[in-house]
Structure 1
Amino acid sequence: MRLIGSRREVKLREELVAGHQHLFANADKKDKSIRSLFKKLFVNMSKEQKEDKRILSCLRSNYPNMVTAYCLHWIPEQGEDIYFYLVDLDNVAVIEIDRLDDRVEIIFENMTLRAYRKELSKSGRLLLAVALDLAQKDIDNNKHVQCIEHMQK
């Protein structure tokens, strides 16, 4: 699908970027204090933040070279949440997280982009096209940063 810069595309782009920033927020900040770490993980962290950390951890463990991730779809079930994340230009991660007990192991499945695309409506294909555009830019930016870092060595 070709992007034309419509208002709908701009709105979808804003929503995807906000979700991306939320998922990766504070992921790379380092606090060496054990007490601070404990507070962040267990005392002051909301259930949503814990879920985001679990999602990011699952994504990073299954895609160690992951540069970006955009949430394409969320299905709130009775006892679990199911998320679909675009993690690169070829794969969609399907993650099922128990909503009631965070000790329950996350269920992970990899889906090819081709298989995911087959199930989409027109609006879903538009969302995917915008997410792919954002992911391509993130991947290109990462390659550029790695090239600069390599040149500085």
Structure 2
Amino acid sequence: MKGVHSISNSVSAGNRLWLAKNKALSRGNHFQTLREYMRLKGTLTEDSYRAELRRTHEYIFHSDQGKILLQALINTFQEMKTAYILYWTPDQGADFYTLIINSQQIVFIEIEEECTKRKLLTTPEKRVVSLRSCSVNDYKKELSKTNRIKLEVALDLIHKDMKDE
């Protein structure tokens, strides 16, 4: 035990976190959430992400354009209470979304826009082309530090949404 203590005194703070994590894992205490790895600090980056994510929440739940996303989420995840768009990539004729719902699922949606002709008018119609999901834990394994911060801010907002219900 003394050897471990002296080793942790000679390593950097980042390595101390790694040692603590591995020590906890060796005792069978698995970290359950990203919050145990990374704490929000109230930085400008976090504030910027928070404002952006709030706008995406409004887009999904309170805009005419977001109705197709909301309907796809409700049809697939009946237990959905809240959602935020993490990433949106517009492309020619299609939009790609990465969303987080209820702090448990990451959802990838592709929405295609088709133009149909009705009574001399060409109107765009959107439809969901693909929808797939994975767990938050699987998703966060591949993220850079910047993207983990954004995910952590989204998880914090979701936690507050769920608490307010």
TM-score by length of 1: 0.71
2:102 matched to which residue of 1? 88
**Are residue 22 (structure 1) and residue 59 (structure 2) matched?**
yes
Q: Check conservation: 2:72, 2:128, Cα contact below 8 A.
A: no
The structure in which a higher percent of residues are helix is: 1
**Partners in 2 of 1:72 and 1:105 — Cα distance?**
18
**1:44-123 matches, cutoff 5 A:** 49-50=64-65, 52-101=66-115, 102=125, 104-123=127-146
1:21–1:108 distance in 2 versus 1, CA, 3 Å: same
Specify which structure has the bigger relative contact order, considering alpha-carbon pairs within 8 angstroms and separated by 6 or more residues. 1
**Partners in 2 of 1:104 and 1:132 — Cα distance?**
28
**Aligned-pair RMSD on alpha carbons?**
1.6
2:45 matched to which residue of 1? 8
1:100–1:65 distance in 2 versus 1, CA, 3 Å: same
Q: Could you tell me which amino acid in structure 1 is paired with residue 164 of structure 2?
A: N
1:118–1:78 distance in 2 versus 1, CA, 3 Å: farther
Structure 1 residue 140: deviation in Å?
1.2
Structure 1 residue 104: deviation in Å?
4.3
**Partners in 2 of 1:10 and 1:84 — Cα distance?**
20
Structure 1 residue 67: deviation in Å?
1.1
Give the number of aligned pairs.
119
Structure 1 residue 103: deviation in Å?
5.6
Q: What is the SS of the residue equivalent to 1:89?
A: coil
State the structure with more CA Rg.
Answer: 2
Q: What is the SS of the residue equivalent to 1:106?
A: strand
Moved over 4 A (4+): none
TM-score by length of 2: 0.66
The structure 2 residue matched to 1:133, chosen from 141, 149, 156, is 156
Structure 1 residue 100: deviation in Å?
3.5
What's the % identity of the aligned pairs? 35
| Unmatched segments (≥5 aa) in structure 1 | 27-48, 143-153
